[in-house]
Structure formats: structure tokens, C-alpha cells
Structure 1
Amino acid sequence: MRTIQVKKITEEVAQMCKEAAYYLPGDVYDALKKGRETEESPVGRDVLDQIIKNAEIAKAEDRPICQDTGMAIIFVEVGQDLHIEGGSLEDAINAGVAKGYTEGYLRKSVVEEPLFNRKNTQNNTPAIIYTKIVDGDKIKIQLAPKGFGSENKSDIKMLVPADGVEGVKKAVLDIILHASCNPCPPMVVGVGIGGTMDRAAVLSKRALIRPTNVRNAHPDYAKLELELLDLINKTGIGPQLGGTTSALAVNIEWGATHIAGLPVAVTICCHAMRHSERVL
């Protein structure tokens, strides 16, 4: 059985926090450039120019792409033949988040209690951690800092099977239209279909981590992704101030569900679809 020390996990997570905050993933940057080429609105083109320049400055100077450096959402796949030594996995990840956000001078945005005192934890922990046991002796860590300008506009609809594909399209469009320009478009839209209410929401988060230029492996869902992207880009929301580039991609993840249900969750992300990945 292979062994890994928790301090290695902590160090890697700390570096991932800084990378994600500073460096826009290549697929997202390319999608912005493509959107700039096809954008029909002069104002929209100007906005996209500024967004692209901002990403380039952030990368060149190791500065955050956005002042909202997000709440750390982390998906972890742990090989069942891997032994983690020296402490708990969750503590190691949270220590890495605290270290990365402190060393990287990233804004600490997490409060320890949500309603009454809302006291800031001062190190951006705890992270939101989803753990899955898989085959093998490796650990895969995917980190996505989630800003709340877009998170606040995410939503879920509990449909019934009779609503079908058209019902799903309407649910997604209703959420997008309600969000309008508030999530700092052009957006990346994660859609989770199936499972339960909570499972659909997690699927929609996981969908955002998939590269914007990779379609769902299931041809029907891949087709739906493109149809939804076209519908969203016809809304006129555009990049902040109107235009034809309202979204860069729609990514769908799906799962088994109950015979009476059709949950649909939509997680919206701003143009800064930040994420980082390690396999240790």
C-alpha cells in the first residue's frame, strides 16, 4: 500500500489556491478570445478586451484575477490503496487553504456562522470538500474558488418527468434570465440533472470543472449543452453590458434519479472560471 504524508497534501493545496486565483485556465482564456472574435456588440467587444487584459495582467504579475477570491470548493478522489499518514485528510486540505490564502494575499471571505454573528474565520476555511473513494493508490484534488456574485444567482428547480427536455431548457433559461448581468458575464454555466435536490447541485458544481471545450460524453447531453449555450447567447445579456457573448460554455453532468423526479440545478460562474488540479 502506498503512503502519502498529509503535509504534502497541505503544500499542494496551498499552491493550488494561489494558481487558481492568479492564472485563468487556458480553455477559459481561449473561450474569451473566441467570444471577442464573434461578439457583435461594440460595447461587448470592449468589455471582453478589458476582461482578457485583466487575465493577462493577473498571470504576468501573480495577482488575483478578481478581488473576490472565492470560497474554496474541492473535489477529492482518494484511491482505496492509498494510506494517508500524519493526520486527517480534511484537516490537511483546510490547512492548505489557510496557507495558500494567507501566503497569496488572497481575500478571506468565509464566515464561521451564516446568520447571527457572521464572524470571519480570517483564513478562508473551512473549504467545501467532496470526497470519493476510487480504485488505485493516488489522490486527485480539484480546487475551484467560487465567487459569490455568481453563486448567489445559482438555483435549483424540482421538475417532474413530464416536463422533459423542454422543461429543462425553460428551467435553465429562467434561472439565467433572472440572473441577467449580475454574475459578471460572460458566464460558464454548470447544470446538474438527476439525483436528488442536493445531488443535482453537486453535479452542477462538478460540471464547472470540466474544460469549456469538452462536451458531455453522452451525445444527447452534448447536444443539449450546445442548444442551451445558443439559447443563452440569444438572450442579449452579453458581456456585462449587453451583446451576443452571454456564456462561454454550458457543461452538464447527470445522474440516476427517482421515477417521479427530474431535479435540475444550475450553478453560474462568472467569466473567471478558476480551477486547479493535482494528482499525487
Structure 2
Amino acid sequence: MRTISRQSVVDAVAAMCIDANRYLPADVLASFAKAKAAETVPSAREIFGQLEENAALAARTGLPLCQDCGLGVFFVEAGEDVRLEDGSLREAINAGMVKGYGDGFLRKSTCDPFTRKNVGDNSPAIIHFDMVPGDALKICMMAKGGGSENMSRVMMLAPAQGLPGIREFVIRRVAESGSNPCPPILVGVGIGGNFELAAINSKKALMRRVDDVHPDPEVAAMEADLLASINRLGIGPMGLGGATTCLGVKIRTAPCHLASLPLAVNIQCHSSRHKEVTL
């Protein structure tokens, strides 16, 4: 049995929240450069240049990549042979998130759903736990803004709709979203499981690298087909036209009930902010 101190979790989570909101992942930046080189629409190339400049300014000044610093979403893989001293793991992660959003001067966006009064510290953190073998603690953090989250959907398809129905729903969802999620976007797709698992898997899928290829050739081909189809919509960067509406489509699947075909589409804006740490 391995023991991890509460303070080490708090400090690690705080640093993750600050870094995720200041530094765009290298694979996302690389996808900007690749897409800019392929664009033929001048306004699209200009927007990619602005996105690159924004990322450089955030890294240099310590200011957030976006004014919407999002809700703190965490996916935690807790080893069965690890324990936290001086408190609960959920409390420590939430405390770290509150500290990070405070110390980093990041916008707090959590509010009461009815009165709309701001909670003031971005709490509570949204945490999904998985128990895994071993004595390590892996924490993945995503800063998820409201614009992209509002465009995300869960749909219970009929099994007979199959792959054509999945394809149609994903492409239509992006088309209907238009410029609202600040394209170029990333699209996470959860297929199977049940209502809530499909939604969780669609968000987990967004933690994959932009250049990552799915190990299942059939799923990889589906991702490539959806990406090409979405980019043919012509929405383009910031909705002003161009060849790059989407930087990547990532799919995560799970077995489902024989009477249903759960499908979730989680859209992420171009500022795909996430970090992970293993303690």
C-alpha cells in the first residue's frame, strides 16, 4: 500500500489548472501549423496566425488562452493500492482546482443553475473516478468552456440506424453548431455503453492527441471519414470559411444493450486545454 499526501494532490492539481489555461498542448499547436499551410482561403490563414500568436502571448505573459477558463473536469485513475492521507481524494482535487483558479487569476464560471449567482471559486470540480490496478494516481484535467459544451449532444439511436445513423448525426451536429464553438474544433464521439457512459466517453476521447490514430482500423477509418466530411462543410476557422472546420475526430466505444445505440458528440473549441499528471 502506497500513501500520497493530500498536499501533493492539491499542489499538482492547482498547477495543472494554471498550466492548462496558459499553455496550449504541442500537438494542438502543430495541428494549427499544418492546417494553416494547407489553407487556400486568406482569412482562414490569417485566423490560424492569430491563434498561434494568442498561444504565444499566453505562454509569455501568463494570461489565459481564453477568457472562458471553463469548468474543471477531471478523469482520475486511482490505483487500488494507493491511499490518500489527511482527507479524501475528491476533496483534495476540488481544493486543488479552487487553488489553481484562484492563484492563476482564472475566470470562475460556476453558478447556481436557477439564480445564476456565481459560486465564486469555480467549485465543485467535476470528477470521474476509475479504480485500476497498481499504486499510482493518474489525474487528467480538462478546462471545458461553455461555448463548445453547449453544442454537445447525447442521442439514443435505434440499433437499425447503425453506422449511417451515427455518421449523419455527428456531421449534422457540427453543421448546426456553426461558428458557436469557436472552430477549428475537435470532436469527441462516444458510441455504445448507455446514456451517461456515451457522454463520458465522448469527453474522454478528447484527451487523445490530435495526431493519434485509433488502434482499431475500422474505428480509425470512421474517424478519418468523419473528419473529411466535417471539413467539407466549409465552416472554417471561426466560421468565416475555409478547409479546416475540424482538427480531429476521436471515437471511444463500449458494448451496449441490444435494444439501444447510445451516441454522444462532445465538441471542443480550438483551445483544447488539458493536462495530466501521475503521482
> 2:61 corresponds to which residue?
61
Q: Does 1:253 align with 2:240?
A: no
| Alpha-carbon contact 1:110-1:125 (below 8 Å) kept | yes
Task: Kindly report which structure 2 residues correspond to 1:18-57, keeping only aligned pairs within 5 A, or say none.
Answer: 18-57=18-57
SS at match of 1:106: coil
Within the candidate set 129, 132, 154, 1:131 is matched to 129
Task: Kindly report which structure 2 residues correspond to 1:261-280, keeping only aligned pairs within 5 A, or say none.
Answer: 261-280=260-279
Aligned-residue offset at 1:21: 0.2
Structure 1 unaligned segments of length 5 or more: list them. none
Could you say what the CA RMSD is over the residues aligned between the two structures, in angstroms?
0.8
Cα deviations across residues 134-193 of structure 1 (Å, max 9, x unaligned)? Answer: 000000000000001110011122112211111111010111011011100000111100
| Alpha-carbon contact 1:2-1:81 (below 8 Å) kept | yes
Percent identity among equivalent residues? 46
> 2:147 corresponds to which residue?
149
| Alpha-carbon contact 1:216-1:253 (below 8 Å) kept | no
Task: Give the structure-2-normalised TM-score.
Answer: 0.98
AA at the equivalent of 1:237: I
SS at match of 2:109: coil
Separation (CA, whole Å) in 1 of partners of 2:163 and 2:257: 17
> 2:70 corresponds to which residue?
70
Separation (CA, whole Å) in 2 of partners of 1:34 and 1:46: 14
SS at match of 1:257: coil
Within the candidate set 196, 201, 206, 1:203 is matched to 201
Number of residue equivalences = 278
SS at match of 1:9: helix
> 1:243 corresponds to which residue?
242
Separation (CA, whole Å) in 1 of partners of 2:185 and 2:256: 27
| Alpha-carbon contact 1:228-1:250 (below 8 Å) kept | yes
AA at the equivalent of 1:152: N
Q: Does 1:228 align with 2:226?
A: yes
Aligned-residue offset at 1:123: 0.9
Separation (CA, whole Å) in 2 of partners of 1:253 and 1:56: 32
Aligned-residue offset at 1:16: 0.2
Separation (CA, whole Å) in 1 of partners of 2:40 and 2:245: 12
Aligned-residue offset at 1:40: 2.1
AA at the equivalent of 1:215: V
Task: Kindly report which structure 2 residues correspond to 1:170-181, keeping only aligned pairs within 5 A, or say none.
Answer: 170-181=168-179
Aligned-residue offset at 1:118: 2.1
Q: Does 1:93 align with 2:93?
A: yes
| Alpha-carbon contact 1:239-1:245 (below 8 Å) kept | yes
AA at the equivalent of 2:6: V
> 1:167 corresponds to which residue?
165
Cα deviations across residues 207-256 of structure 1 (Å, max 9, x unaligned)? Answer: 00111111222111111001000001000100011111000000000101
Cα deviations across residues 1-44 of structure 1 (Å, max 9, x unaligned)? Answer: 11001111001000000000000001111011111011121111
Separation (CA, whole Å) in 2 of partners of 1:118 and 1:89: 28
Within the candidate set 217, 220, 224, 1:219 is matched to 217
SS at match of 2:105: coil
SS at match of 2:226: helix
SS at match of 2:13: helix
AA at the equivalent of 2:163: V
Task: Give the structure-1-normalised TM-score.
Answer: 0.98
Separation (CA, whole Å) in 2 of partners of 1:238 and 1:263: 29
